[in-house]
Amino acid sequence: MDAAPVLKSTHSRTLDLPPSCLQFCRKYPSYFVIGTYNLQREEGGAPEMVETEPGVEKKSQNRNGSLLVFDIGEESTPKLSLIQTISQPSALLDIRFNNEIEQSQDILAAISSVMILGRMFSTSNANGIQY
């Protein structure tokens, strides 16, 4: 029985915030987007309390996140370049490119911890990525 090939990392990067999702762009396959999720830690002071039901208070949690756009280059010249960071006021839970309609494969939708769905990214420039 042949042994499975050993996978080795050619490029790696440590992110500023924990990643929560990743999606490649089918229209521009060397590009991918990472969504991040960060639960902000309390720094001194009393935590903010939120009343969810009469007589019941819960500690409020603040979250933030970001969209990170990367380019992995061509197969002949691989790289891992951070192209853009887009900070978000809430954590990103999931991201998806529209892969169903060919002319819309460069549209990215994101859903955040405050349940906002939006068009976040478009690569409408025929010469490459445009933000």
Q: What is this structure's pTM?
A: 0.73
Structural domain spans, the chain:
19-41+58-122
DSSP state of 56: E
Average pLDDT, the chain: 80
Confidence at residue 130, expressed as pLDDT on a 0 to 100 scale: 47
Confidence at residue 103, expressed as pLDDT on a 0 to 100 scale: 73
Give the pLDDT confidence of 34-91 residue by residue, as tens digits: 999 999 877 655 555 555 567 666 666 889 999 999 999 887 788 899 999 989 889 9
Q: Which residues contact 60 (CB under 8 A, 6 or more apart)?
A: 47, 48, 49, 50
C-alpha atoms less than 13 angstroms from C-alpha of 100 in its C-beta half-sphere: 2
DSSP assignment of 76-100 equals TEEEEEEEEEEEESS-EEEEEE--S
Collapsing DSSP to helix, strand or coil, 73 comes out as: strand
The yes-or-no verdict on residue 128 having pLDDT over 60 is no
